[in-house]
């Protein structure tokens, strides 16, 4: 009994140290990470988006040929379907990346709208410039998606 009493303060001190280390307000929590379930879910939504990004490389050729009708069909067709998938992905990224992704997606659609308008006006320089901007925003978006999902 005597021995127990002498080590009790030591035990209490240890417990206090552990409590501070685990739950203390000064200790940063581990940043949130992607679970395998989340990655699988993101992957499903990413597939059409990644395909559309690949197909974006067909646009310069269409612009070069000034095939405006095709350009507009392309923007309203394959690229027009992306909004839903991209907003789902944005909302399911890590909290720190959500705003950047949502902004990049919004910008992408603004640039696509401008390409559409430029095509309507047969304005090649504007269409090409907006195409470059669209690709940049598209890649910003894709770079925020966890690599395991792509
Ligand atoms: Zn932009």
Per-residue pLDDT of 81-119, as tens digits, reads: 899 999 999 999 999 999 999 999 999 999 999 999 999
Give the pLDDT mean for 11-25.
57
Measuring CA to CA, how many Å separate 53 from each of 21, 23, 49, 59, 123? 46, 45, 6, 11, 23
Q: What is the Å distance from ligand 1's center to 1 Cα?
A: 74
Q: What is the Å distance from ligand 1's center to 140 Cα?
A: 10
The predicted pLDDT at position 29 comes to 74
What single DSSP character describes residue 145? S
Q: What is the Å distance from ligand 1's center to 114 Cα?
A: 11
pTM: 0.77
The predicted pLDDT at position 149 comes to 78
């Amino acid at each position: 009994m005597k021995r127990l009493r002498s080590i009790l303060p030591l035990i209490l001190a240890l417990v206090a140290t552990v409590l501070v280390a685990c739950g203390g307000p000064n200790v940063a929590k581990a940043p949130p990470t992607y679970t395998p379930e989340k990655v699988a879910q993101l992957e499903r939504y990413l597939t059409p988006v990644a395909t559309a990004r690949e197909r974006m490389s067909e646009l310069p050729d269409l612009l070069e040929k000034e095939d405006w009708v095709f350009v507009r069909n392309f923007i309203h067709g394959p690229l027009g379907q992306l909004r839903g998938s991209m907003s789902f992905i944005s909302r399911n990224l890590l909290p720190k990346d959500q705003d950047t992704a949502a902004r990049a997606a919004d910008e992408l659609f603004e640039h696509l709208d401008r390409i559409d308008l430029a095509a309507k006006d047969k304005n090649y320089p504007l269409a090409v410039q907006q195409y470059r901007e669209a690709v940049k925003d598209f890649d910003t978006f894709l770079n925020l998606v966890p690599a395991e999902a792509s």
